[in-house]
Amino acid sequence: MAEHIVIRIIIMHQNSAKKKDPSVTIFEHCKTGAIDNIKELITADPNLIYIKNDSGETLLCAAVQYQQEEIVKYLLEKNCSIGLTNDHQEISGGATKVLTPLMRAASLGNVSILNLLIERALLIDQDKAPQQRKNLLEETDNSGMTALYYAIIGNQVHATKALLKAGADFSHIKDIHGKNMLEVASSTGSTELVNLLKKYFNPVLELTNDEFEEYFSKNTLAINRLKNSEQDSLLIQSCASADSEKALWLLSQPSINISEKNPNSHWDALMTASYHGGTEIVSELLKKEGISCSNQNNYGSTALILAAFKGHTEIAKMLLDHDLSQLDKKNNFGISPLMAATLSGNTELMKLLLSKKDLSTIYQKSPMEFVMLHLVALLASLFYQNPQLFNTLSSKIDAKTTDSAEPIILSNANASAKINKKSPGTPKS
């Protein structure tokens, strides 16, 4: 009996000592929201800010978990760390995950507390260059997941919006099953969440220019990292769109990679802009150090051939002014810029290319090219019902060739006469 009494006294003494231990008491106050008591304890011992409980949880993590906004504010004022911590959460199978306060707030969907933490995260190393800052929004748990993942998997739409608005990157994150963040959002069954993520997965078409600039100015890593399903970079996507403003903004960013190619088609930004008629974009690209007009896609076409094929005269002129050596390049099918221009039906572009080309020796150097040019011009004239296409080519080339080409010239003249008879009226250009 006496032994039991002694044991009870010892336990009571231990419990009494435990209650008086500030490192234990402060977590109890945190749970109940007793901020005045917490302030009193921290004033007496400032190191309590860094204390952990038996689960390895920091005071800030506990305040976030208990959703005590005023305590979170106070701890942030005291410069409590919001980085990788200290916080362990048990999950199935007995494994543990290490969560930051940001991850906790995101998973709970408490946007007020989340915004406090985001604001602090964005202030870290603000005096340093963007690439040198500690991006706490991108900090991961021990399975590689970020705060954004916890917001999405928790179906927390407003928390997801807050993180995206702050520039949280989703472009490279996949869960343990290999799903990207849009696929994770789909698994939640939330249409609102899926539609929100779709905008950011297709930012060139879905985001307004202001939204685009706001997001990518905060998330500079995603500028070169984000790809669409065809593996086009953000810059290539922008060059292919009708709106050049996004592409021009990207080109103003120091981190932009202007030389990146699609790994499958081998198209780069210059080829894409040249093909789609992005005159302003091509002009800006040609000002960039390291830009190359000689790159070829998987069909061997250069930016000049692609511009000529689409009949973009101004772009072709800029490309030739930058690198005249591209004038005689051919693609894998033997198509030169001049042939491509002829096929486009643009006589103005044909004249431009002919004015840059040495026509005096074209027959001697390449009889096959001579024949092919005339044949292409003849076919294009028939297709567009425009004899001016043929006449433009033959009048420039035939006048420069020698007598050895006379049979071809005569046959061309006959063909031209037939086309002129079939096509009265104003020729198309």
Q: Where are the domains of the chain?
A: 14-201, 358-429
How sure is the predictor about 280, in pLDDT bands with cuts at 50, 70 and 90? very high
Whether pLDDT at 307 is above 50: yes
pLDDT at residue 332, rounded to an integer? 95
pLDDT at residue 418, rounded to an integer? 47
Taking residues 32-45, what's their average pLDDT?
93
Tell me which of 337 and 410 has the higher pLDDT.
337
Taking residues 389-394, what's their average pLDDT?
61
Domain 14-201 class in CATH: mainly alpha
pLDDT at residue 302, rounded to an integer? 97
Q: What is the rounded distance in angstroms from the CA atom of residue 65 to the CA atom of residue 218?
A: 27
Q: Could you tell me the CA-to-CA distances from 33 to 30, 38, 45 in Å, in that order? A: 5, 9, 19
Straight-line distance from the first to the last Cα atom of the chain, in angstroms, rounded to the nearest whole number: 113
Please work out, in degrees rounded to the nearest 5, the angle formed at the alpha carbon of residue 339 by the alpha carbons of 337 and 343. Answer: 115
Which range, 96-105, 228-237, 300-309, 420-429, is most confident? 300-309
pLDDT at residue 22, rounded to an integer? 75
At residue 261, φ and ψ (nearest 5 deg) are: -110, 155
Q: What is the rounded distance in angstroms from the CA atom of residue 234 to the CA atom of residue 171?
A: 11
pLDDT at residue 408, rounded to an integer? 41
Among the listed residues 378, 371, 309, 380, the one whose alpha carbon sits nearest the alpha carbon of residue 340: 309
Tell me which of 98 and 320 has the higher pLDDT.
320
Q: What Rg do the C-alpha atoms of the chain give, in angstroms?
A: 34
Whether pLDDT at 37 is above 50: yes
Q: What is the rounded distance in angstroms from the CA atom of residue 182 to the CA atom of residue 171?
A: 10
363 neighbors 402 (Cβ within 8 angstroms): yes
Give the chain's mean pLDDT.
80
Exposed e or buried b for every residue in 341-362, given b needs 16+ CB within 10 A? Answer: bbbbbbbebbebbbebbebeeb
pLDDT at residue 191, rounded to an integer? 94
How sure is the predictor about 343, in pLDDT bands with cuts at 50, 70 and 90? confident
pLDDT at residue 338, rounded to an integer? 84
pLDDT at residue 426, rounded to an integer? 35
Whether pLDDT at 387 is above 80: no
Tell me which of 65 and 86 has the higher pLDDT.
65
How sure is the predictor about 101, in pLDDT bands with cuts at 50, 70 and 90? very high
How sure is the predictor about 18, in pLDDT bands with cuts at 50, 70 and 90? very low
pLDDT at residue 222, rounded to an integer? 84
